Structure 1
Amino acid sequence: MPIAAVAKESEVDVLIIGAGPAGVMCANALAMAGVNVRIIDQRPAKVAAGQADGIQPRTIEVLQSYGLAERLLREGNQMHMAAFYNPSPSGGIERTSRAPDVTAPSARYPFEVTLHQGAIEAIFLDSMSAHGVIVERPIVPTYIELSQSEEELKDPNAHPVILKHLDPSEREGDSEIVKAKFVVGADGAHSWVRKSLGISMDGEQTDYIWGVVDMVPDTDFPDIRCKCAVHSNNGSCMIIPREGDLVRLYIQLSDRDVVDPATGRVDKSKMGPEKLLAVAQKSFKPFEISTSGQIDWWTLYIIGQRVASKFSVRERVFIAGDACHTHSPKAGQGMNASMNDTHNLAWKLTHVLRGWSDLSLLQTYEFERRKYAQDLIDFDKKFSKLFSGKPRTQDNQDGVSHEEFLGAFQTFGLFTSGIGVHYEPSAITHNQHQSCASTLIVGERMVPHVFVRAADARPYDIQDLLPSDTRFKILVFVGDVANTTQAERVLRLAEEMGGQESFYRKFGHGNPSKVFDILSIASAKKQDVNYTDLPPLFRQHWSKVLLDDTDMYSRVGGGGYARYGIDQQHGAIVVVRPDGYVGIVAPFDHLKDVNTYFDSFMAQS
């Protein structure tokens, strides 16, 4: 398609198309990193109500790493308990059990937070705005082209992506051509970017049809403020309590409720929020549920489970979020998966744009996130089938039993919480020395734990010292430095790590502390060690030395070495990636393997 002459041309490092959860997460992360970024969206305004609403424990940790969790926790509703209802022998439903909402023992925030998508996006929009980035809307992209020049594609400073867009409120002549180094398509399940690049979505659509309604209920149902899975002979329902007094109901529908027999397609005109509520009322008997207020939001959907055949084209155009994976919303994964896609991508783009890493680093985005998406679809197929299946009763012995459903709910807990996300070995994930930190799993997120600062005994969760600031965190578990022999080992390691052949100097780009943040964690007790005992490299600031000990009142802290499976005498090196995932662990005498790790993807100063 030839491009007509236009009035405006511009260049940008990263252009993001779509300002949903994946897009705003990406834009905010890049804006905080000082990247030249623009974000456009074809919607004239942000989401006002409804849509996605659940934030999982791992995603709360991620928001905390950007300094955004406090607002989420203040504005949102917390779900701590789940309740399960099944058919009663006397007709209607009865509660079968209650259980923790989250089955993830190491979760720092062992609960889900629910808040409507627009409010969640607003947290990012306000943060972006403070860094000078706003969503440009309504902007409709009309044409995208990727250069065929290998020279351009291999030059990280080139702008090989040409994108034409126009403001629908303006004349065609006022459209703009943008030349971008990278483009991120975060434009939803019907992604224009994905379709324009000919990327297929592989998978299938189920037969399960569900309605969703957000409202303030009038009810005598005792677990209305808990997450509830309701299996009734009339169909299944799910309750998700929301901010304030709002509640979301997911209501299973039959074909006759919503399918047009002539076309075989869902006809939204056959159903409305009042009819949805009427279906739910049958499933809730003997309990009453209605509303005297306005319906906040409602929709219908058929569960589809698909993954894009690829997540990038030549590591120059990427797709993220619903643009590359779709699944049912009842496990609360959509928005979380979407935001974690671009959390994974943003630091990699930043490193390449700064010249810190090779373009090859960007290949790990698809490698890591596409496998996760496939795992998510596999999980969702099992969970959707269990949730949408008929309950087991006296007359239906082939149905889903409560034990089967509860077992799946708990077994999948690590996955659904995000805590169990595991990235396979790659250029940025080396697990050859896993045994030296046996329970700090390489490829998984850094497990939270409270340590105390050596200088003043102030307790800190280690995650709060690992912000998403694009730096690799080098955690040196220095062992018992009160022991002379160990203190000498630590000194030798500092000399080796500070040498010209070490990764720290080799990839430090003239100021290693901008690329790497070193923290030291000693197993010695607060009465026995001074932070000044450590070599200067391992105490670059008084706040960077921690102890695996309790606070002054023995309320928190201690036991960190044991929790991570690290020898208290000899210690270990732990490299945490900028996204909070463990990249490599190694004993002191294998620093060369840490050097090799960084050699595989970083660019020399």
Structure 2
Amino acid sequence: MSPPPPSYVDVLVIGAGPAGVMMGTALSHAGINVRVVDKRPAKVMAGQADGIQPRTIEVFQSYGLAQRLLERGNQMHSLAFYNPRRDGKGVERTSRVPDVTAPTARYRFEVTLHQGEIEAIFLDSMRAHGLEVERPCVPESIEISGDEKELQSRESYPVKVVLRHLVDATLDAAPNGMHTNAIDPSVESSGSTLETVYAKYVLGADGAHSWVRNALGISLDGEQTDHVWGVVDSVPVTDFPDIRNRTAIHSDNGSCMIIPREGDKVRLYVQITDGLQADDHGRIDRSAVTPERVMEIAKRSMRPYKLEFPDPPEWWTCYVIGQRVAKNFSVKDRAFIAGDACHTHSPKAGQGMNASMNDSHNLAWKLAHVLRGWASPDLLKTYELERRKYARDLINFDKKLADLFSGKAVSPGNAEGVTHQEFQGLLQSMGGFTSGIGIQYIPSLITDATSQSLAEGLVIGQRFVPQEIIRIADSRPFEIQDLLVSDTKWKVVFFVGDPKEVREYAVVTAVGEYLQEEKSFLRRFTPKGAAKDAVFTILTVSSTAKDDADYTDIHPGLRTHWSRAFTDDIAIDEKAGGTAYRVYGIDPASGAVVVCRPDGYVSFVCALEDVTKGRLEEYFGKFMIATKV
């Protein structure tokens, strides 16, 4: 029998964990030809990652997926700290503080929900756009063309992947129930079929033991620590008063972290310090760790409070903290890795799943731009530049956190131990980073901070700060982030001051007329024949009082639709609004233009009067492809 003909796809995603399903969702929403394959015969049903940070909730919202997450997940608003009592009789609460210490966060809490349910949100969204995960399916080989002409061509498919579609496959599992993404060589190939796929781009989102990363010869830089932790998901019976708060416990029996979950469920991270031996290769032997042992240590750590486990745990695992970052996040800008495939660290800061999904969120729109011919392939280089810098920062933070968390607390018998002030201080000082709110991308092809002073409250390289504004036509309030949806379009926000004033009216009119000219960025970088808002969404925000404002004050060249003209005033219900110009640091008398990337990050600012001088054309011309006349 002759082999089946090869298949062709724009983007092949290998791995349907958080990074993979985020990429599948983003690209399927954008109408990109994408396939997602996974070795698992079914989605995750329990355990694994479970924490969603405030910035990631904003990202969910930008895809229209936050409501289900908020409805089904548990919210963590407070963080409690427990330390040894002076009398040596267990632990006591030292303090209780807000869980999120990021003042501009739209959502001032974390959400916890098991990974399978989080993945299901994306799987259902993909399905609504005609995309299903193909499983069980494993890659057998990957080859990237060495022909430079082929690599530079937008029409070529330079990545060859051989896939094996399995009929009967067993899910491989590491000891203690901790799943891996390694391919089990014992899986029988009888009844399976081979498929050769030619792809324009490939994403390896196949976990910490990534086959893609290994096949591409990408190394992981970093080290394994000697910190061993057990994790148990259960519904405990307890009189511990902070069981429904995120809680960090430093006890004489070791450290413990409590993460409340959906329903009555609780996740316990428990430090394992005794009875562990290293094998001949120096690796910690975890075979002596059982869920019963983890639960027993948790009981001791939480004394004098009672903790019982009437039912077996729903899920458990044991891990040794490793902190590593891939040397490269891409090969020839045709094959990429994301998520645990390119960075591993401890899970207690709640960063793993968030980092994974935000890797894909960063890359997806860039792939869409290049595939559509909107942008130069050089745009793809910013993925590794931005996300590897973030990953290194994450590892540096994780090292500090792991050392402090795994260290003994200060006590009468341990004067050199970790103080409460040290531990709480680290978590609170890094709140902007751990929440994702303070993440800032460095200057690059797409991040230009030259005119930051025109909008000091919108930090170039950071996400667009939430504010409520009023739609002029009907006085309806909108959160500005809800106008910055993840639809692969650039959002260009014109803060026009009060166009009823003579000077502002003249400037707004000049800008509107300029944008209607062929040389403007709107015409120059929008493909011929495409909708006028195919690439750019234009929003205007005035400072006119809502009772005086008219959307017709905005010149038609700026007023692309009545629904996109807003003003900065207090809403009718007087609950919010009227602070955008002040919070963003924009002078209403002069205004400003703020460019927001398709992933919600501020990338460029210029003066309103500089629009007619070609500043926006200059910015976009660095990476966008002009329309051929």
Q: Report the counterpart of residue 394 of structure 1 in structure 2.
A: 412
Q: Report SS of the residue matched to 1:538.
A: coil
In structure 1, distance between residues paired with 2:449 and 2:393: 21
Q: Against the structure 1 CA distance between its residues 262 and 10, is the aligned structure 2 distance closer, same or farther, given a 3 Å change threshold? A: closer
TM-score, with structure 2 as normaliser: 0.94
Q: Report the counterpart of residue 586 of structure 2 in structure 1.
A: 566
Q: Aligned runs of 1:38-437 on 2, under 5 Å? A: 38-91=35-88, 92-169=90-167, 171=190, 174-256=193-275, 258-259=276-277, 264-437=282-455
In structure 1, distance between residues paired with 2:200 and 2:439: 30
Larger mean Cα displacement after TM superposition, 303-312 or 260-269? 260-269
Q: Report the counterpart of residue 14 of structure 1 in structure 2.
A: 11
Q: Report SS of the residue matched to 1:537.
A: coil
Q: Report the counterpart of residue 577 of structure 2 in structure 1.
A: 557
Would you say the 8 A contact 2:511–2:558 is kept in 1? no
In structure 2, distance between residues paired with 1:292 and 1:537: 67
Aligned partner of 1:518 among 538, 541, 554: 538
In structure 2, distance between residues paired with 1:488 and 1:311: 48
Q: Report the counterpart of residue 467 of structure 1 in structure 2.
A: 485
Match for 1:116: what amino acid?
A: H
Q: CA deviation at 1:156?
A: 1.4
In structure 2, distance between residues paired with 1:248 and 1:576: 38
Aligned partner of 1:531 among 539, 543, 551: 551
1:204-224 Cα shifts (integer Å, max 9, x gaps)? 111100000000010010000
Q: CA deviation at 1:227?
A: 0.2
Q: Report the counterpart of residue 181 of structure 2 in structure 1.
A: none
Q: CA deviation at 1:262?
A: 6.2
Q: Report SS of the residue matched to 1:29.
A: helix
In structure 1, distance between residues paired with 2:346 and 2:226: 12
Q: Report the counterpart of residue 31 of structure 1 in structure 2.
A: 28
Match for 1:67: what amino acid?
A: G
Q: CA deviation at 1:90?
A: 1.6
In structure 1, distance between residues paired with 2:436 and 2:73: 19
Q: Report the counterpart of residue 618 of structure 2 in structure 1.
A: 596
Q: CA deviation at 1:261?
A: 6.0
Match for 1:604: what amino acid?
A: A
Q: CA deviation at 1:391?
A: 0.6
1:446 partnered with 2:468:
no
Q: CA deviation at 1:9?
A: 1.2
Q: CA deviation at 1:119?
A: 0.2
Would you say the 8 A contact 2:448–2:603 is kept in 1? yes
Q: Report SS of the residue matched to 1:47.
A: coil
Would you say the 8 A contact 1:85–1:93 is kept in 2? yes
Match for 1:399: what amino acid?
A: G
Q: CA deviation at 1:395?
A: 2.4
Match for 1:521: what amino acid?
A: V
Q: CA deviation at 1:590?
A: 2.3
Match for 2:245: what amino acid?
A: C
In structure 1, distance between residues paired with 2:584 and 2:278: 57
In structure 2, distance between residues paired with 1:427 and 1:78: 38
Would you say the 8 A contact 1:6–1:174 is kept in 2? no
Q: CA deviation at 1:171?
A: 4.1
In structure 1, distance between residues paired with 2:574 and 2:523: 39
Q: Report SS of the residue matched to 2:533.
A: helix
Larger mean Cα displacement after TM superposition, 359-368 or 6-15? 6-15
Q: CA deviation at 1:552?
A: 1.4
Q: Report the counterpart of residue 170 of structure 2 in structure 1.
A: none
Would you say the 8 A contact 1:6–1:177 is kept in 2? no
Would you say the 8 A contact 1:11–1:179 is kept in 2? yes
1:538-593 Cα shifts (integer Å, max 9, x gaps)? 22211101110011132211111000000011110001000000010110232222
Would you say the 8 A contact 2:232–2:269 is kept in 1? yes
1:56-112 Cα shifts (integer Å, max 9, x gaps)? 000000000000000000000000001000000122100000000000010000100
In structure 2, distance between residues paired with 1:440 and 1:524: 21
Q: Report SS of the residue matched to 1:513.
A: coil
In structure 2, distance between residues paired with 1:537 and 1:71: 38
Match for 2:559: what amino acid?
A: R
In structure 1, distance between residues paired with 2:307 and 2:515: 65
Q: Report SS of the residue matched to 1:281.
A: helix
1:504-547 Cα shifts (integer Å, max 9, x gaps)? 11001123311000010001101222001111122221110111
Aligned partner of 1:541 among 561, 564, 585: 561
In structure 1, distance between residues paired with 2:600 and 2:2: 46
In structure 2, distance between residues paired with 1:376 and 1:204: 14
Match for 1:490: what amino acid?
A: V
Match for 1:583: what amino acid?
A: S
Instruction: Give ranges in structure 2 of 5+ residues lacking alignment.
Output: 168-188
1:427-457 Cα shifts (integer Å, max 9, x gaps)? 1111100000011001000000000110111
In structure 2, distance between residues paired with 1:389 and 1:125: 40
Match for 2:142: what amino acid?
A: I
In structure 1, distance between residues paired with 2:587 and 2:270: 52
Q: Report SS of the residue matched to 2:6.
A: strand
Would you say the 8 A contact 2:22–2:122 is kept in 1? yes
Would you say the 8 A contact 1:523–1:569 is kept in 2? no
In structure 2, distance between residues paired with 1:269 and 1:206: 18
Q: CA deviation at 1:500?
A: 1.4
Larger mean Cα displacement after TM superposition, 334-343 or 591-600? 591-600
Q: Against the structure 1 CA distance between its residues 495 and 339, is the aligned structure 2 distance closer, same or farther, given a 3 Å change threshold? A: same
Would you say the 8 A contact 1:524–1:548 is kept in 2? yes
In structure 2, distance between residues paired with 1:173 and 1:270: 37
Would you say the 8 A contact 1:57–1:110 is kept in 2? yes
Would you say the 8 A contact 1:549–1:557 is kept in 2? yes
Would you say the 8 A contact 1:84–1:228 is kept in 2? yes
Match for 2:254: what amino acid?
A: G
1:442-501 Cα shifts (integer Å, max 9, x gaps)? 100000000011011111100001110010001000111121111111111112232211
Q: Against the structure 1 CA distance between its residues 449 and 335, is the aligned structure 2 distance closer, same or farther, given a 3 Å change threshold? A: same
In structure 1, distance between residues paired with 2:575 and 2:317: 48
Q: Against the structure 1 CA distance between its residues 584 and 272, is the aligned structure 2 distance closer, same or farther, given a 3 Å change threshold? A: same
Q: Give the count of matched residue pairs.
A: 601
Match for 1:300: what amino acid?
A: C
In structure 2, distance between residues paired with 1:576 and 1:556: 23
